[in-house]
Amino acid sequence: MTDAALTSTVEPLARPQGWRGIAADWSSDQRAFKNVSWGKAMMWIFLLSDTFIFSCFLLSYMTARMSTTVPWPNPSEVFALTIGDTKIPLILIAIMTFILISSSGTMAMAVNFGYRRDRAKTAALMLATAAFGATFVGMQAFEWTKLIMEGVRPWGNPWGAAQFGASFFMITGFHGTHVTIGVIFLIAIARKVWRGDFDVERRGFFTSRKGHYEIVEITGLYWHFVDLVWVFIFALFYLW
Amino acid sequence: MTNVAVHLEGQQSLQTHAHDALASGATHTKGQQHPIKLYLVVWGWLFVLSTCSYLVDYFGLQGYLRWSLILLFMVLKAGLIVAVFMHMAWERLALAYAILLPPVLVLVFVAIMVLESDYTHLIRVIFFAAAT
């Protein structure tokens, strides 16, 4: 009974909308997020804190780039690849961007099939997302190797401002770590979906609580956030 | 006083419980349910916008045109991902504002650091140039 009341995501009365709704939801010592479960709310709050972490990285990169008197290396040339005989600017990064966007698309559809309780499609789409993510990390490893071979270090590089290396390794490294964790998270949840844990209400290994298909959406929130951060890194670090 | 409180609480949880029994099936199995086509359309748009921002670099646009286009495509892509893929468009405003407003305040931090780095740059130009 108490358990049902605590974890219930259903409100007994219709809630006001708009600004009136914000005031009503936040006031009077209630639970502020009415139709959102604690799991989803906590993922959103974690993502908010992660936003601040990435903001700090991008801000320190901006400060270093704006305040240096040495010219900043041109990312368009640094990240160019020679395919065949032609040198194409930034092509690797463009491909990585498309891969990550595709992974977001498959993830969004996995969430949809999850709520329809379509185990096979949900698990398959989640694994496809994980495969895209792993490809992305692989390409990032290739990119890092290439730059390190060319002499980029956190304290210097052959083309210009010394802070380029430090900013690059810090920002893309942290993002790559997030993608890697996401891939592991996806595989773990895909396994549970495939096994049917959420249909037979099998209790979790760590939490001993019954899982639910909502975890697919929560995993999705994390994954889309990783894609979202890449949108900002792509624009502000690679294209600027 | 306490009696009243207990009574009210009891009534409320009863009500919640009764409502749960009625609606749990509906809310729990449905969740965020939107047509697949919507995701495919957004996916397509993200591809188009990414291609556009790549072309900005490919054609070597420079200056304010480059920066404004990059920022425009960035904001559009971020908006699509948050609104549709992360379902923020269908959440209650209490959640949307709690999550989306704080990152906007980072812009204040950006403004502070722009001023600061302009100052650092000026000092470096004046004193490093004098030293050499």
d(CA A51, CA A8): 29
pLDDT attached to residue B11: 43
- Over residues A39-62, the mean pLDDT reads 95
Residue A216 predicted with pLDDT over 60? yes
Question: How many Cα atoms within 13 Å fall on the side-chain side of residue A28?
Answer: 6
User: When comparing pLDDT for B15 and A12, which is higher?
Assistant: A12
d(CA A61, CA B72): 20
Residue with tokens 């595709």: A102
pLDDT attached to residue A203: 86
User: When comparing pLDDT for B108 and B130, which is higher?
Assistant: B108
Nearest to A110 by CA among A119, A97, A101, A99: A119
Is residue B57 within 8 A of residue A89, CB to CB? The reply is: yes
The one-letter amino acid at A151: G
**Three-state DSSP class for A9?**
coil
Q: Do B86 and A224 touch (CB under 8 A)?
A: yes
* pLDDT tens, position by position, A90-128: 889 999 999 999 999 999 999 999 999 999 999 999 999
Give B34's pLDDT tier (boundaries 50, 70, 90): confident
Give B21's pLDDT tier (boundaries 50, 70, 90): very low
Window 104-123 of B, Cβ < 8 Å to A? 106, 109-110, 113-114, 116-118, 120-121
Nearest to A174 by CA among A58, A33, A63: A58
Paired tokens of A111: 């969430």
For A150-180, b where at least 16 C-beta lie within 10 A, e where not — what string? eebeeeebebebebbbbbbbebbeebbebbb
Give B87's pLDDT tier (boundaries 50, 70, 90): very high
Tell me the DSSP string of A31-97.
Answer: -S-TTS-HHHHHHHHHHHHHHHHHHHHHHHHHHHHHH-SSPPP-HHHHT-EEETTEEETTHHHHHHH
φ, ψ of residue A86 in degrees (nearest 5): -100, 145
Q: Is the torsion defined by CA of A87, A90, A91, A92 positive or negative?
A: positive
Give B69's pLDDT tier (boundaries 50, 70, 90): very high
pLDDT attached to residue A58: 96
Paired tokens of B119: 């100052």
Give A84's pLDDT tier (boundaries 50, 70, 90): confident
Share of chain A above pLDDT 90, in %: 65
| Residue in A25, A107, A232 nearest the CB of B94 | A25
Q: Do B47 and A98 touch (CB under 8 A)?
A: yes
* pLDDT tens, position by position, A159-210: 989 999 999 999 999 999 999 999 999 999 999 999 988 888 888 888 788 8
Residue B100 predicted with pLDDT over 90? yes
User: When comparing pLDDT for B4 and A205, which is higher?
Assistant: A205
Q: What is the mean pLDDT of chain A?
A: 89
E-state strands within chain A = 81-83, 86-88
Residue B30 predicted with pLDDT over 70? no
| Chain B CA closest to residue A52 | B103
- Over residues B106-118, the mean pLDDT reads 95
Is residue B32 within 8 A of residue A224, CB to CB? The reply is: no
Residue B45 predicted with pLDDT over 50? yes
Give B60's pLDDT tier (boundaries 50, 70, 90): confident
Q: Do A235 and B39 touch (CB under 8 A)?
A: no
Window 17-76 of B, Cβ < 8 Å to A? 17, 19-20, 23-24, 27-34, 36, 39-40, 42-43, 46-47, 50, 53-54, 56-58, 60, 66-67, 70-71, 73-74
Q: What is the count of residue pairs from A and B with beta carbons less than 8 Å apart? A: 189
A contact test, residue of B85, B117, B120 with most A CBs within 10 A: B85
SS3 content of chain A, % helix, strand, coil (to 5): 70, 5, 30
